[in-house]
Structure 1
Amino acid sequence: MKRPWVLVTVILAPSLINGCMVGPKYHRPVVQTPTVYRDLSENPQAQAQAASYADLRWWQVFQDQQLQELIRTALKQNYDLQLATERIIAARAQLAVTRSSLFPQIQGNGNFTGGKEGTFQTNYNFLTLTTDAAFQLDLFGRLRSATAASRAQLLATEDARHTVILTLVSDVASDYFTLLQLDLELQITRDTVKTQKDSVKLTSFRLDHGVATKLDVLQAQQVLDTANATIPDIERQIGQEEDAISTLLGNYPQGVPRGQPLEWQVLPPEVPPGVPSSLLERRPDIREAEQTLVAANAEVGVAKAEFFPQISLTGSGGGAFGRSSAFSSLMGSHIGIWSYGAQVSQPIFTGGALRGNLHLAESQHQQALIAYKEAIQHAFGDVSDALIGYQKSHDVRVRQEQTVGDLAESVRLSIMRYRGGTTTYLEVLDGQRSLFSAELTLAQARGTEFQNLVQLYRALGGGWQQ
């Protein structure tokens, strides 16, 4: 090659030419957000704390060892999470494909021919080796904008995976506490059945000795039958809840091991929500919406750059080597070849396609902006709902504990009065019915309180940190 600088110039063109960007630069939209969460606590200053309950890792929040093991299994085996991971791999590959357009494309070619020709059957062999290079000058930022859009889409898929993790951790924990609640309801019902069996025996014994009536026995049997009828329905719910957890864990339906019972689970002394402004960075769904907005902003730049000329540089070089029996002077000879060129393409008339493409990109940008603002609004709504739910369910649970305590004492006194002959069995029956219902309500209140705690942790953006 007599002039190798031609290819060198083409290869180094990216560093020699710095074009302008015709697309809009991205700036995070200014969204007016509340300075404090909706105040429902007795201490309004608690909301001003910088630390948030969501800053804790999930294994610091959920201290039940068995629950931790279930969450770890779900993070390894859940199919939704595996799909989210594969989408990241695909987006990373797409970024590599898009980004490759920013660099020269170099290709090597080889061609060998040989044979005989002519009257004298002349032998010949020729070998041609060439290298072609092409580079598209990104004077108006079309390729750089496309790369920026692909990079933002990659970040969006990563944040989408974080959203899946947040949802997965929360769902496993919520379903686990629901399962413990059902276990407690089943235990209460079975204890009631045992107690009522003893009550039926006692009443039957008193009937045999002429102290009680047949009606007393039938009323005691009625409470026992009601409790017995409740057991199959609770067992059905337990089985279905175990199936739901198994699906989250990536398993086929099977039993789920338990750790500590619901009554032994520890609630945190406080759950500070933290500074509202930190919610924008902590919630992965908001971050995903912003990266989608970044990508849409870059696509506007791509659409605008389509109006401008596209310039490509090309160059090639190589050599031809040949041998012929007819011309001994050509044996071992070689000939250097090289060429270079430039191509300019400018849209003149496209029937409105370019302008329509620009309007489409601008509309998609506006849609992404609206979705970003909506994601922020929903996030604050989620936190407000979760704060209300957790605080009010705590109040319900405390009051229900008092109710159960009062009813238990009332039943104890009624039984003493019945045995002493100062009251009818109807009073005992009404008390036992009320106590059984109140104990089930208390179990549900405990489960609801833990589930609302999980939802608050999720709404604040906690649980996805690895």
Structure 2
Amino acid sequence: MKTLKFTLPVLAAAVLSACSMAPVYQRPDAPIATVYPAESGPAAGQIAYVTADAGWREFFQDARLRALIETALANNRDLRTAALRIEEARAQYNVVAADTLPNVAGTASGTRGRTAAATSPTGASVVGSNYQVGLSLAAFELDFFGRVRSLNEAALSQYLATEEAQRAAHISLVAEVAKAYLSERALGEQEELARRTLASRESALKLAQQRFEVGASSALDLKQNEVLAQTARVTLATLKRQRGQAQNALTLLAGRPVNALPQGLPLSSQGIVADLPAGLPSDLLGRRPDIRASEQRLKASNANIGAARAAFFPRISLTAGVGTASGELSGLFDGGTRTWSFVPQLVLPIFDAGRNRANLSIAEVRKNIAVADYEKTIQVAFREVADALVARDAIDEQIDAQARVLDAQRERLKLAEQRYQGGIASSLDVLDAQRELFSAEQSLVQAQLLRLTNAVDLYRSLGGGLKETAG
């Protein structure tokens, strides 16, 4: 009968503690279209294959770039900080989770004191001792209304959000290293073009100087050649500076100076521009870590509402202890020294000047903010993919047109030189053709870089860059 009396309250407490006052979580509808813009082509909304399935080692073919990405993943300080944030969130979750279970501690104490004769019942001073050893349960809350459980769920969601944020940082780092490397490659190719152009213009300047000295050309022709040569020198110096800064940016992303890297590939041989079907917009919800992190923060806000609601109801906690006590240390474990205590406590909110109501309002507002942040994260992700898809076809057309411009400028220079040598055209036509050819060469490199970075942006926006190999 005594066992039954003890079991029934425990079972009742277990049933009540399973309750939760948090609202039932429902994922908000994604505020985006069901398909990507029509400009991105039929593959954007009809092909189920997603680029994110390809690991970054498979996506990037340049061995030098792979080595840089690998080094950055191991040494980048921002990524290291994100990993430490995960450890911090895990520890915080463990702290909150500990409140769901009783905390039992071993205790040992000893006191010794003298009672004055004036206050002693016997009229004489007394020296007394008290020694205790035992186990104690300190203020364990019976979670009848789910307050502790809601706080535990909120801490878990925050931990999961931090973990997803670290994955998003991983993807962003892969993309940033790739784009910084491609920019450095493009600047290197432009620098080489500028160096060759400067050498050609310096030769032309020497020839113009000789022609001027013998009276075969005017001072105007000489100065025009000099202007072109000095302009090429300025361009070369500018590109050297920009390339040096791009290399410094790569070193910062990599986390340490990188030496003995494999030979890099030119932009035309990178091999990362291919057909990149994007799947359906709904795929982003499961593939983008930043979206998953935002949803976890929304779940945490939802759970905090449950904790705020539970604060309106009574809070019951138990404090208990069992052990032995004796006035002599040597008799601490003798018969008849056993002690125990059981102290239940009920705290019922009566008047708090609106504190609990304000806390509930804060929790509800924060949930609404989290919903708005979640929806905005989805919208930003959709726009990033849509922008990359829309730009892809336009960039291909731009490169094709720029290549045709370059071919036309080369032919123009050839014809201008023939006409000048035949005495039909002036040197101005040749100089103008040289200047336009150099500009067309630089523009083609920029267009090629734009196509490569567009491919990297699409790969990242689809959630690619987390895996090293294909799944």
Q: Is the 8 A contact 1:51 1:272 kept in 2?
A: yes
Structure 1 position 339, deviation (Å): 2.3
Structure 1 segment 298-447 matched on structure 2, within 5 A: 298-321=303-326, 332-447=334-449
Distance 1:16 1:354 in 2: 25
Q: Secondary structure, in 3 states, of the residue corresponding to 1:107?
A: strand
| RMSD (CA atoms) | 3.4
CA 1:324/1:38 → structure 2, altered by over 3 Å: closer, same or farther?
closer
Distance 1:410 1:116 in 2: 113
- Residue 39 (1) aligns with residue 38 (2): yes
- Residue 247 (1) aligns with residue 252 (2): yes
Partner of 1:107: 105
Structure 2 residue corresponding to 1:290, chosen from 295, 304, 309: 295
Structure 1 position 32, deviation (Å): 4.2
Moved more, 68-77 or 287-296: 68-77
Structure 1 position 80, deviation (Å): 1.3
Length-normalised TM-score, structure 1: 0.89
Q: Is the 8 A contact 2:391 2:454 kept in 1?
A: yes
Structure 2 residue corresponding to 1:160, chosen from 141, 162, 165: 165
Distance 1:324 1:63 in 2: 77
Structure 1 position 116, deviation (Å): 11
Query: For 1:236-261, what per-residue CA distance to the aligned partner results, in whole angstroms no more than 9, with x for missing partners?
Result: 11122122222222237999986112
Structure 1 position 312, deviation (Å): 1.4
Q: Secondary structure, in 3 states, of the residue corresponding to 2:35?
A: coil
Distance 2:328 2:385 in 1: 82
CA 1:104/1:395 → structure 2, altered by over 3 Å: closer, same or farther?
same
Q: Is the 8 A contact 1:321 1:334 kept in 2?
A: no
Q: Secondary structure, in 3 states, of the residue corresponding to 2:323?
A: strand
CA 1:228/1:45 → structure 2, altered by over 3 Å: closer, same or farther?
closer
CA 1:11/1:175 → structure 2, altered by over 3 Å: closer, same or farther?
farther
Partner of 2:136: 132
Distance 1:93 1:331 in 2: 39
Structure 1 position 22, deviation (Å): 1.8
Partner of 1:50: 48
Q: Is the 8 A contact 1:153 1:291 kept in 2?
A: yes
Moved more, 130-139 or 387-396: 387-396
CA 1:13/1:71 → structure 2, altered by over 3 Å: closer, same or farther?
farther
Moved more, 8-17 or 177-186: 8-17
CA 1:97/1:10 → structure 2, altered by over 3 Å: closer, same or farther?
farther
Distance 1:115 1:201 in 2: 108
Query: For 1:39-74, what per-residue CA distance to the aligned partner results, in whole angstroms no more than 9, with x for missing partners?
Result: 224x42453111112222222222111111111111
Structure 1 position 422, deviation (Å): 3.5
Q: Secondary structure, in 3 states, of the residue corresponding to 1:276?
A: coil
Q: Is the 8 A contact 2:67 2:261 kept in 1?
A: no
Moved more, 145-154 or 239-248: 239-248
Length-normalised TM-score, structure 2: 0.88
Structure 1 segment 42-121 matched on structure 2, within 5 A: 43-112=41-110
Q: Is the 8 A contact 1:322 1:332 kept in 2?
A: no
Query: For 1:96-146, what per-residue CA distance to the aligned partner results, in whole angstroms no more than 9, with x for missing partners?
Result: 11111111121211134679999xx99998642121124211111000000
Structure 1 position 377, deviation (Å): 1.1
CA 1:417/1:148 → structure 2, altered by over 3 Å: closer, same or farther?
same
Distance 2:207 2:269 in 1: 34
CA 1:5/1:67 → structure 2, altered by over 3 Å: closer, same or farther?
farther
Q: Is the 8 A contact 1:7 1:133 kept in 2?
A: no
Structure 1 position 447, deviation (Å): 1.3
User: Which 5+ residue runs of structure 1 have no aligned equivalent?
Assistant: none
CA 1:104/1:292 → structure 2, altered by over 3 Å: closer, same or farther?
same
Q: Is the 8 A contact 1:6 1:340 kept in 2?
A: no
> Which amino acid is the alignment partner of residue 28 of structure 2?
P
Q: Secondary structure, in 3 states, of the residue corresponding to 1:40?
A: helix
Query: For 1:363-398, what per-residue CA distance to the aligned partner results, in whole angstroms no more than 9, with x for missing partners?
Result: 111110111111111111111222223332222112
Structure 1 position 184, deviation (Å): 1.1
CA 1:330/1:381 → structure 2, altered by over 3 Å: closer, same or farther?
closer
Partner of 2:119: none
Structure 1 position 317, deviation (Å): 1.1
Distance 2:34 2:329 in 1: 87
Distance 1:425 1:433 in 2: 12
Distance 1:58 1:384 in 2: 21
Query: For 1:202-241, what per-residue CA distance to the aligned partner results, in whole angstroms no more than 9, with x for missing partners?
Result: 4445556665544433333322121112111111111221
Moved more, 186-195 or 23-32: 23-32
Q: Is the 8 A contact 1:87 1:157 kept in 2?
A: yes
CA 1:320/1:7 → structure 2, altered by over 3 Å: closer, same or farther?
farther
Q: Secondary structure, in 3 states, of the residue corresponding to 2:38?
A: coil
Q: Is the 8 A contact 1:247 1:253 kept in 2?
A: no
CA 1:464/1:223 → structure 2, altered by over 3 Å: closer, same or farther?
same
- Residue 188 (1) aligns with residue 193 (2): yes
Identical counterparts, % of pairs: 38
Query: For 1:339-375, what per-residue CA distance to the aligned partner results, in whole angstroms no more than 9, with x for missing partners?
Result: 2232111100111111111111101111101111111
User: Which 5+ residue runs of structure 2 have no aligned equivalent?
Assistant: 116-121
Distance 1:293 1:346 in 2: 30
> Which amino acid is the alignment partner of residue 35 of structure 1?
T
Paired residue total: 460
CA 1:340/1:123 → structure 2, altered by over 3 Å: closer, same or farther?
closer
Q: Is the 8 A contact 2:175 2:456 kept in 1?
A: yes
